[in-house]
Amino acid sequence: MARGTTAMEVRADGVAVITISNPPVNALSLDVIASLQRNYAEALGRNDVKAIVLTGANGRFCGGFDIAAFGNKPKNEKPGSMSIDFLTDIVEDAHKPSVAAIDGIALGGGLEVAMVCHARISTPSAQLGLPELQLGIIPGMGGTQRLPRLVGLLKALDMMLMSKAIKGREAHKLGLVDAITSANELVNTACSWALGIVENKKPWFKSLHRSDRLPDLAEVKDVLNFARVQAKKKSPNVQHPIVCIDVIEEGIVSGPRAGLMKEALSGKMLEQSQTSKSLRHFFFAQRATSKIPSITNMGLTPRKIKKTAIVGGGLMGSGIATVLILNNFKVVLKEVNEQLLSAGINRIKANLQSFVRKGQLSKEDYEKKFSLLCGVLDYEQFKDTDLVIEAVIEDIFLKQQIFSDLEKHCHHNCIFATNTSTIDLNLIGQKTVSQDRVVGAHFFSPAHVMPLLEIVRTQQTSSQVIVDLLDVAKKIRKTPIVVGNCTGFAVNRVFFPYAQAACFLVDYGLDVYHIDHVITQFGMPMGPFRLADLVGFGVAIATRKQYYQSYPERCYKSMILQILLEDNRTGESSCKGFYIYDDKRKASQDPDLRKYIEKSRNIAGAMQDPKLMKLTDNDIVEMIFFPVVNEACRVLDEQIALKASDLDVASIMGMGFPSYRGGVMFWADSLGAKYVYNRLEAWSKDYGEFFKPCEYLAARAHQGASLAAKVDSAKSRL
Ligand SMILES: C[C@H](O)CC(=O)SCCNC(=O)CCNC(=O)[C@H](O)C(C)(C)COP(=O)(O)OP(=O)(O)OC[C@H]1O[C@@H](n2cnc3c(N)ncnc32)[C@H](O)[C@@H]1OP(=O)(O)O
């Protein structure tokens, strides 16, 4: 079956309107492109056609090249056949003008095709941008050449390197679109404009030949060199931002046709890169998380959540309240006394103000959002809430008490969610009879910033409650992953061996700061020891205990955190942990750390291991992350997570795993299950159970299958 098409209608006034139709975003699939080429050939050949208007069906111009089709392009495709031979030589150089009529979105290839047209008309709210760098590629179809010529070099760099879209109104001010009109008038306005070009009443611009908005060559060099330095600083492990800058430079220095050719050749090379494969995987993986078999395909519609409540105004509770009011939910915040309540409300104010400072919230909106919040000390206001999120400390008895109180004060459809990060939900809901309404809503700290929401269901949680929470996640702009119930759920559980592996290496002779350096070079926002400082040793030790209890056979029990804590080094909050911190929270290495490490090594009875002392940086990365991959395999085997790609999304959005490696499972698959298995197996012989590969991994290694391959034998916990 064809993936989309275009349709052409020739109007009585002589304008051929070509409409791209490929739901849901009118992506340029290979079928759409072939159909567009046929329509153009016909329109240019017909005597009754004076001009062409290009538009998209159902209020969406075009979401760009079909991302799923990258792997399907003909292998021997001539470089530039689309961007030069068709778009430039046929469409832009045609003897009949084309006008793009843009509503909804014009992204990537969508905007590129629009820029080839001789004018663009847009609705004020349409989104225009070249977000290709997010996919590990550069704008193709002439995007690198035409955008700087239409909006100027600085703005074009900002839009491309940051993958930033702009609205129609701003695009008009910048000159990227020629006129703004309503959606109803769009096609008619575009047709009149096209006829205006034919009659010489409107200019016949060819974007590729404009140079009036480009700076002189010396300035171009300066601007691009500065952009290169910034790009290397921001993303040292990827090459495509630098390639993008080089391609832009080629077009300005050697002329746009040379630029187009370099763009085509570089684009082809980047498409095949591991970075692009990883980022494309991440794109689809994010969209797949909310498709839950036997839940989201059962015809259930989400109930309307009007009023929410949070129990506990600490760091997590106030962060969750912030994200809810920011997205227009009414929030009742409950605390146990005036002092804690006002501390919670002040935290929410500070969170909102940080959005105002960044220009993401106007002062007026600040007041509007803040008015959605109501602080309380009892449950009186809970009677008409539709969703309660408990966010108190990790104390099972306290949580049980709160859940039985909720049952007394809330209506019988209210959802009872807990933000616990580790405690078994069955225990939390044990004292209620409403276990079908008990669910985990695990936000990541800071909740108003981190993009992931882990939705935890027990065997009793109703499908309706999951559908409701998925809808809330969408409304508060979080990516949800739905997981089963166990200690640590999916995200924290998968990552518990991360810190333990790092402590193991330190006990056996490696340097804390070297490990953190290697892990940040790999692409994590911070190393495991810097992260432990940030989380705080009190919390880290408490959660570690839960893992020791639940998974004793595969925990590495280092004493280092305990030893530091005993000397009042609690992490960043006390300005002393593995690092020392100045009053601006800047971390520096501490030579004194050595004495604590020595103590930990003595307790562990660990000797400097000559083999470990020879580890390369790559070995260190693998020794820290392969146990994580191993635990992820167990989580999949037990069907705590439904698919490997959910764990990829979770590792990127919850733990900061580099997106350009595709997530922890995709990365492991790029190395091969067999390789991961063999290394873990060898380490487990030398260093014990902590590294022992699980059955799921062993089976895949032996079968030569990928870690993402479906599991048949697993026992579901969902
Ligand atoms: C040659 C060129 O230079 C190369 C390119 O053009 S590369 C592509 C550049 N374009 C992009 O990066 C845009 C990517 N898409 C998006 O940002 C967003 O999907 C959007 C803003 C267009 C729409 O967002 P939203 O309404 O929230 O819908 P969203 O859930 O993201 O997408 C709807 C569906 O369209 C699919 N989709 C979106 N853009 C797509 C694309 N360019 N290709 C293929 N599928 C796409 C999604 O996978 C999703 O599929 P599903 O329903 O089966 O899960």
DSSP letters for 598-631: HHHHHHHTPPPPHHHHT--HHHHHHHHHHHHHHH
Nearest residue to 31 via CA among 75, 68, 83: 68
Q: Ligand 1 in contact with 141 (CB < 6 A)? A: yes
CA distances, 215 to each of 19, 219, 316, 617 (Å): 36, 6, 48, 44
Nearest atom, ligand 1, residue 110 CA: 6
**Whole-number average pLDDT of the chain:** 95
User: Domain 307-483 is of which CATH architecture?
Assistant: 3-Layer(aba) Sandwich (3.40)
- What's the number of CA atoms in the CB half-sphere (13 Å) around residue 185? 11
Rg (alpha carbons) of the chain, rounded to whole number: 28
**Collapsing DSSP states into helix, strand and coil, what is residue 573?**
helix
Query: In this structure, what are the phi and psi dihedrals at residue 396, rounded to the nearest 5 degrees?
Result: -55, -45
**pLDDT reading at 710 higher than 80:** no
CA 63 to ligand 1 center in whole angstroms: 6
N- to C-terminal Cα separation, the chain:
36
Dist. CA 119–CA 124, nearest whole Å: 16
**pLDDT reading at 153 higher than 60:** yes
CA distances, 629 to each of 490, 602, 668 (Å): 12, 29, 7
Q: Ligand 1 in contact with 66 (CB < 6 A)? A: yes
Instruction: Give the per-residue SS3 of 344-371.
Output: HHHHHHHHHHHHHHCCCCCHHHHHHHHC
Q: Whose CA is nearest to atom 49 of ligand 1?
A: 287
**Collapsing DSSP states into helix, strand and coil, what is residue 80?**
coil
Dist. CA 213–CA 271, nearest whole Å: 30
Same topology, domains 5-272 and 491-717? Answer is no
Percentage of the chain exceeding pLDDT 70: 99
Residue 433, both tokens: 């009879």
Q: Ligand 1 in contact with 129 (CB < 6 A)? A: no
Dist. CA 112–CA 91, nearest whole Å: 12
Within 10 angstroms of residue 163's Cβ, the number of other Cβ atoms is: 16
Nearest atom, ligand 1, residue 64 CA: 6
Nearest residue to 406 via CA among 324, 322, 332, 328: 332
Of the candidates 132, 390, 572, 638, the residue annotated as catalytic is 132
Helix locations, 523-616, DSSP H: 528-535, 537-550, 560-566, 593-604, 610-613
**pLDDT reading at 212 higher than 80:** yes
pLDDT band per the 50, 70, 90 thresholds, residue 166: very high
Sheet with 330-334: strands ordered across: 373-376, 330-334, 307-311, 387-390, 415-418, 438-443, 452-457, 479-484
Q: Whose CA is nearest to atom 33 of ligand 1?
A: 24
CA 491 to ligand 1 center in whole angstroms: 26
Q: Ligand 1 in contact with 287 (CB < 6 A)? A: yes
Domain range annotation of the chain: 5-272, 307-483, 491-717
pLDDT (tens digit per residue) in 113-143: 999 999 999 999 999 999 999 999 999 999 9
CA 28 to ligand 1 center in whole angstroms: 10
Query: What does the pLDDT average to over 206-227?
Result: 96
**pLDDT reading at 369 higher than 90:** yes
Strand 587-589 versus strand 579-581 pairing type: antiparallel
Burial class (CB in 10 A: 0-12, 13-18, 19+), 79: middle
pLDDT (tens digit per residue) in 398-411: 999 999 999 999 99
**pLDDT reading at 465 higher than 70:** yes
Torsion of CA 233, 238, 243, 249, to 10 degrees: -10
Percentage of the chain exceeding pLDDT 90: 90
Query: In this structure, what are the phi and psi dihedrals at residue 60, rounded to the nearest 5 degrees?
Result: -135, 120
Nearest atom, ligand 1, residue 105 CA: 22
CA 392 to ligand 1 center in whole angstroms: 38
pLDDT (tens digit per residue) in 549-583: 999 999 999 999 999 999 999 999 999 999 999 99
**Collapsing DSSP states into helix, strand and coil, what is residue 108?**
coil
Q: Whose CA is nearest to atom 22 of ligand 1?
A: 63
Query: Is residue 50 a contact partner of residue 118, using CB atoms and an 8 Å limit?
Result: no
Residue 144, both tokens: 């690198």
pLDDT (tens digit per residue) in 315-337: 999 999 999 999 999 999 999 99
Q: Ligand 1 in contact with 136 (CB < 6 A)? A: no
**pLDDT reading at 447 higher than 60:** yes
- Residue whose tokens read 């091969």: 672
Nearest residue to 417 via CA among 408, 428, 427, 409: 428
CA 560 to ligand 1 center in whole angstroms: 47
pLDDT of 717:
43
CA 83 to ligand 1 center in whole angstroms: 21
pLDDT band per the 50, 70, 90 thresholds, residue 712: low
Nearest atom, ligand 1, residue 134 CA: 12
Nearest atom, ligand 1, residue 65 CA: 6
CA 134 to ligand 1 center in whole angstroms: 12
- Who's near 92: CB < 8 A, 6+ residues apart? 116, 118, 206, 207, 208
5-272: CATH topology: 2-enoyl-CoA Hydratase; Chain A, domain 1 (3.90.226)
pLDDT (tens digit per residue) in 649-695: 999 999 999 999 999 999 999 999 999 999 999 999 999 999 999 99
**pLDDT reading at 501 higher than 70:** yes
Query: Is residue 467 a contact partner of residue 302, using CB atoms and an 8 Å limit?
Result: yes
pLDDT (tens digit per residue) in 38-86: 999 999 999 999 999 999 999 999 999 999 999 778 778 899 999 999 9
Q: Ligand 1 in contact with 271 (CB < 6 A)? A: no
Q: Is 219 a catalytic residue?
A: no
- Who's near 647: CB < 8 A, 6+ residues apart? 490, 494, 632, 635, 636, 641, 663, 664, 665
pLDDT of 718:
44
pLDDT of 392:
96
CA 25 to ligand 1 center in whole angstroms: 6
Nearest atom, ligand 1, residue 112 CA: 3
Q: Ligand 1 in contact with 111 (CB < 6 A)? A: no
Q: Is 112 a catalytic residue?
A: yes
Query: Is residue 334 a contact partner of residue 357, using CB atoms and an 8 Å limit?
Result: no
CATH code of the region 491-717: 1.10.1040.50
CA 342 to ligand 1 center in whole angstroms: 43
Which DSSP state fits 709? Answer: S
> Model ipTM?
0.99
- Who's near 238: CB < 8 A, 6+ residues apart? 136, 275, 660
Which DSSP state fits 493? Answer: H
Of the candidates 9, 42, 112, 185, the residue annotated as catalytic is 112
Residue 246, both tokens: 């080089």
Q: Whose CA is nearest to atom 26 of ligand 1?
A: 25
Strand 51-56 versus strand 5-10 pairing type: unpaired
Question: What is the number of residues in the chain?
Answer: 718
Pocket test for ligand 1, best of 3, 22, 25, 166 (most atoms within 8 A of CB): 25
**pLDDT reading at 711 higher than 70:** no
Q: Ligand 1 in contact with 298 (CB < 6 A)? A: no
